[in-house]
Structure 1
Amino acid sequence: MKIFLIELRRSPLRWWLPLLIALDLAVLFGRARWWVGVWPQASAAAQVPSFYIGPFLAAYASWSAGRTHRLGFEDQIAAGSKSRWKIELIRLSATVVFGLAAYSTGALVAAAVSFDDAGAGFLWPGYLLLGGTLIVLCTAVGHITGRWFPSSSSIPVICGLACFAALAMMGGPSGAGLFVLSGAPDIELDAQGLALRLALALAAVALAVQPPRVLNGYSEGTAKLSARLPAVGCVVLAAACLAGMFSSGPLRVARQAPRAPLCTTAEPKICLWPEEEKYLPQVEDMARRVSELPSKFKSPAVFYEEGLQRNASNDTDFSILEGSMWEVANGMSISISRTSTPPYCPAENNAAEDRRMMAYFELNSWLAARISGAGQPANMHGGPPGVDQREIAKMIEWPEVDQESWALKRLDTIEGTRCE
């Protein structure tokens, strides 16, 4: 422990710690802030900076691990009283500690800014462990690289860039699953998948501190074959973990729905995951606006956030995409228009089909604007073809009688379309 503390005090990385913390916070708040107040989303957001901290530590670990060779101290360390693996583990651990210190600071900040708005619970440990695993893995890879290629400049830079590129291309949820970009409440991390990634990181650490000794030029009185066994075992374990990661399915799996979701008191009821409590006042207003729609429109009795009724029809499901209530209103508008109009059948000709589809598009857009209380947000693009969303946004300011007349004309077009 004393040697480890000395390594921490003397590590050049201590001067980089403020920069690492600044990097973590810049990534945390620079991407978006809609995650604030939702524990699973805040946990996933706190994990994202590991994507950048990891490659940085890989570059530093590569530089640090090569110092012994560059300074000509290999023989002195080999002849010392402490085992070589202990010396390497101390050096690698010091690098990891600084990385985790910056990472933990970002996680604490994410928790602090979410605490007032969030409901019961706290940061989800699975996401935080995933980010920590990525940091350890990158550091170990850098340490291995530095021991085999003890360069002071080019190899560390190449190592860091290679780690970053590999993560960007293959490390995401659709690849190796070493990081995630969001944490929807209906999804959780698979415990077995998380354990495989942690085991891979630990195998890389073991390989980094105890490489094939014969190939490093010393055997410490051990037969060459037995000297290779620790490294061979680490390689086999790492290969097994990789095989398990890619064969065991996705890291993120469906989460069991709660027995009592969080629902509005106003009708129709709008039910959310309990972790989405901060959105409850907004959906209460949306439920009230639905109840104020013209009587010609029929609404389902209950709307569910995605994942709350996995074994039932999902016609009334909606999702909260990056905190946007427009997505909620849009999903509800489609359900209301389906409930309020006859079942679909092919129109008697293409012209009639086009008129009916345009009526659907305009009606759904108007319903979404009415339910949300505003038009489509400026930062969202697209929508039904041929519909001017800016005009729809102005329309909900019209007198109620004018809006009802406009909407009923679209309903008449839909209901009056003859089938083939």
Structure 2
Amino acid sequence: MSVTARTWPPGFTHYLGYLLLGVASLMLCCGWGWLIGRLPPSRWGALTGAFVWVLANLAVDTDLVVVNGPARDRPDLLLIALRIAAAALLLGACLWLPLGRGMLRRAPLPAVAAALASTVLASGLSAVAPRQGPESMTCVEGATTICLWPEEENYRAMAERVLDRADGLPAELSMPDKVYSRGLIRVDGEWGGDFDLDSGSEWAMSDGVTRAVSAETFAACREDDLAGWDKYNEAGDQSVLALERWLEKRLAGGGQPEYRESGMSEAQADAIEKGKAMADRPAAEQERWARDTVRFVQETYCD
């Protein structure tokens, strides 16, 4: 860590922030357990402290159990330092507490109350917040351009593989100018994007590229207040879904998806399986089927 800190590369602030956030949580947990553990008899102290800590984190939405996060979120080092200081104050107050239930009569209650109040305040402040727009981005060019956060540089090779598989797709499939990791662009007043790499999944990136290609290919269906899509949905057609699952599997390099489908109707499930099966057919057959599917949808619903 000390060697890496000399160059301060993209992502180091995130690593340091989450590391210190974990330190703060451990200190707060120890202080809370120490405080609670002195009230009941010794055999129940640890159990009570642990139970109340877990219950509090389940009941209240806090980041006390956060240990990592995506590039689109930024740990606030100043707030984390404040939390560590509050945790240290709580631990320091615990050093002066007498043992047992007599603590309630003999403890300097104002000092303990101040330590607890500062701890609760520091814990309630969210130390991880969405980044307000990118300072820069890493873009990989190919059949389209895939743009990543600078902290996602290690996924450049993944983007290159996906783009290599996108070369030679049927001309009927329209490629978008750029595809973005989530949080890089502003969409409808919010920071959005086409895919997220929270789990580092090649299928997630392939899904984002697939959806962008589908949106570009069938853009005509979105004209006239989505009249084309309304017509498509009313017909119960699942051709686009089959096409998307085919393209997703092809861009991901084949194999089994890294997720499970749920909530699908029988028609949707059949279309998904059809698309996946087509990705295992000879390339010429795949491309012929893709061209025919695109033309059918465009001529039937989008014209």
Deviation, structure 1 residue 121: 5.6
The more displaced of 378-387 and 178-187 is: 378-387
Matched residue of 2:179: which SS? strand
Identify which of 217, 220, 243 aligns with 1:340: 217
CA distance in 1, matches of 2:32, 2:275: 55
The whole-number CA distance in structure 2 between the counterparts of 1:258 and 1:348 is: 33
Task: Name 1:208's counterpart in structure 2.
Answer: 94
Name which of 51, 58, 63 aligns with 1:177: 63
Distance 1:364 1:181, change over 3 A: farther
Pair 1:308 & 2:184 matched? yes
Please state whether the residue corresponding to 1:188 is helix, strand or coil. strand
Pair 1:417 & 2:297 matched: no
Does 2:31 match 1:140? yes
Partner of 2:22: 131
Question: Per-residue deviation at 1:181?
Answer: 5.0
Q: Say if 1:309 and 1:216 are closer, same or farther in 2 by CA, change over 3 A.
A: closer
Report how far residue 409 of structure 1 moved: 3.0
**Structure 1 spans left out of the alignment, 5+ residues:** 1-107, 112-118, 220-226
Determine whether 1:325 maps to 2:215: no
User: What one-letter code is carried by the residue in structure 2 that aligns with 1:166?
Assistant: A
Quickly say closer, same or farther: Cα 1:332–1:376, change in 2 above 3 A.
farther
Q: 1:417 to 1:274 in 2, by over 3 A?
A: same
Q: Does the 8 Å CA contact 2:162/2:252 hold for their aligned counterparts?
A: yes
* Unpaired runs of at least 5, structure 2: 3-8
What's the TM-score, normalizing by structure 1? 0.58
Structure-2 separation of matches of 1:260 and 1:401: 40
Q: Are the equivalent residues in 2 in contact too, given 1:188–1:253 (CA < 8 A)?
A: yes
Contact kept, 8 Å, 1:141 with 1:208, in 2: the verdict is no
State the SS of the aligned residue for 1:264: strand
Q: Which amino acid aligns with 1:264?
A: V
The aligned residue for residue 158 of structure 1 is: 48
- 1:18-33 maps to which residues of 2 (within 5 A)? none
Equivalent in the alignment of 1:233: 111
Deviation per residue, 1:76-114 (Å, 9 max, x gap): xxxxxxxxxxxxxxxxxxxxxxxxxxxxxxxx8xx9xxx
| Counterpart code for 1:208 | C
TM-aligned CA deviation for residue 323 of structure 1: 1.4
Q: CA RMSD in A?
A: 3.7
| 1:291 partnered with 2:167 | yes
How far apart, in 2, do the equivalents of 1:381 and 1:285 lie? 25
SS in 1 for 2:251: helix
In structure 1, how many angstroms separate the alpha carbons of the residues matched to 2:11 and 2:176? 31
- The counterpart of 2:269, out of the listed 380, 387, 399, is 387
TM-fit CA distance, 1:182 = 3.5
Runs of 4+ in structure 1 off by over 6 angstroms are: 311-315
How many residues were matched structurally? 288
**% identical aligned pairs:** 26
Is contact 2:245-2:276 (8 Å) kept?
A: no
Partner Cα distance (2:171, 2:93) in 1: 70
SS across alignment from 1:387: helix
Please give the alpha-carbon distance, in whole angstroms, between the structure 2 residues aligned to 1:349 and 1:305: 29
Amino acid at match of 2:245: S
The answer to whether the Cα contact below 8 Å between 1:187 and 1:254 also exists between their aligned partners in 2 is yes
2:130 corresponds to 1:271: no
**Structure label with greater radius of gyration:** 1
Q: Which residue of 2 aligns with 1:242?
A: 120
